[in-house]
Amino acid sequence: MNWGLQNRISRIIKPQNNRALMLAVDHGYFLGPTEKLENPKKVIAPLLKYCDSLMVTRGVQRSSVSATTDTPMVLRVSGGSSIIGEDLSQEDITVSIEDAIRLNASALAMSIFVGSKYEYQTIVNLGKLVNEAEKYGLPVLAVTAVGKELGKDARYLSLACRVAAEQGAHIVKTYYCDNFEKVVQSCPVPIIVAGGKKIPERDALQLTFNAIKGGAVGVDMGRNIWQSEHPVSMIKAVRAIVHNNQNVDQAFKLYQKLVSEEPKNKSNKPNQNKSNKPNQNKSNKPNQNKSNKPNQNKSNKPNQNKSNKPNQNKSNKPNQNKSNKPNQNKSNKPNQNKSNKPNQNKSNKPNQNKPDVTRK
C-alpha cells in the first residue's frame, strides 16, 4: 500500500483508535430532496466539525460544503437510477477520477448490488474503479446495497462484503445484523456500518454500540443524525460511543444533557417575539382604539342622535307627520317606531307596522 493511499485512509479511519465516524449526506443522488436534507448547506455546516469524514456527491460538495474545511470527503461516484425508476440496482460510474482529484476526494464510494438483476454490472464497475483509483492512491469504499429482494442476514452480508473486498475495495460499508461478528471475520478489510432509516435516538445509539462491539471500525450515519430534532447533540452522542467507548446509557444521557443545554434563544425567543410583542400591539393598543374610542363614538353619539332626537320628533309631533309624510317615517326609521311606541301605533296604523316587520 503506497503512502498516499495509507494517508488518505488514515484521515477516514483514525489510526489512534482505528475508529471512524462518517456523516452520510449523499441520499439525494437517488432520493432527491430527502426530508430534512432539502437544504444541504444548512444541514452540513453545523455537523461538519464533529464527523471524521463526509460521504457526499460532487454536486452537493461543490454547492454546499465550505472549501476551507479540513474534513475529508468520501465522494460518491456511482448513480444512474432514482427511487421512481424501475430498478435501483442499475447503477454505473458517473464521476471521473480526474474530477474526483479536482475535488480533493479522500476516497471514492460506489454501490454493488450482489444478487440483483444488475449484479454483474455493479461488481465489474467496482473492479474498474479500483483499477483507476489505485493509479492515484485513492481508496475505494464499496457499499453493499440491499433492497426488498435482497437479504440483510449474516449469510448474505458476509457474501456481499467478501465479494467487495475480493474486487479490491479498501473499506466496505454494510448493514448491522444478527451474528454480525461472522460478517466482520469473513471480510479482510475494515467495515463501516450504515445507519439506515430514522429510528429513535436511543435505538440509533444502540445500533452504534452494537456495531463497534461486533467489530466494525465505525458507522456511516445520516438520517439518524440530521433527521433528529437535535442533530448536533445526536452526532456528539454517537461520537462518544465511537471514539470515547461510552455505552448506550452514557451516550443517551449525554444526548439528553446536550439537548437541555442547547440555546433556547433560537427556538423560543423568536416565537416569543412573534407571539408576545406583536400580539400585544395587535390586541391591546389596536383593539383599544377599535373597541373603546370607535365604539364610544358609535354607541354614544350616534345612538344618542338616533334614539333621543328622532324619538323626540316622533313623540312630539307624530300626528302632524302622520297626515303629511307617513311614508317617510316608514322607510327611514321603522325600528324606532317598532321599539319605542309600538302600542300607540298599533291601534292607529297597524297596516303600516306589518310591512316593517316583514322587511327585517
| Active site residues per annotation | 173
Identify the CA nearest to 174 among candidates 193, 196, 188.
Answer: 193
Q: Which residue has the cell 391591546?
A: 284
- Cα dihedral: 129, 130, 132, 135 (round 10): 160
**What letter does residue 152 receive in the DSSP assignment?**
-
Residue type, 27: H
Separation of alpha carbons 53 and 61, rounded Å: 12
Query: What Cα–Cα distance (Å) separates residue 304 from each residue in 65, 159, 291?
Result: 72, 94, 18
Taking Cα atoms as reference points, which of 359, 352, 303 lies closest to residue 328?
Answer: 352
Q: Which three cell numbers stand for residue 98?
A: 480526474
Residue 104 vs residues 68, 210, 248: alpha-carbon distances, Å: 12, 33, 36
CA distance to 84, 109, 178, 199, per residue, from 31 (Å): 9, 17, 28, 18
Question: What is the distance between the alpha carbons of residues 229 and 272, in angstroms, rounded to a whole number?
Answer: 20
Residue 68, Cβ neighbours under 10 Å: how many? 5
Q: Report helix, strand or coil for 295.
A: helix
Q: Can you tell me the distance from the alpha carbon of 44 to that of 235, in angstroms, rounded to the nearest whole number?
A: 12
How far apart are the C-alpha atoms of 331 and 348, rounded to whole Å? 18
Sign of CA dihedral 272, 276, 282, 286: negative
- Helices 201-213 and 248-261 cross at an angle (nearest 10°) of 140
Report the C-alpha gap between 149 and 171 in whole angstroms: 24
Task: Report the SS3 class of residue 148.
Answer: coil
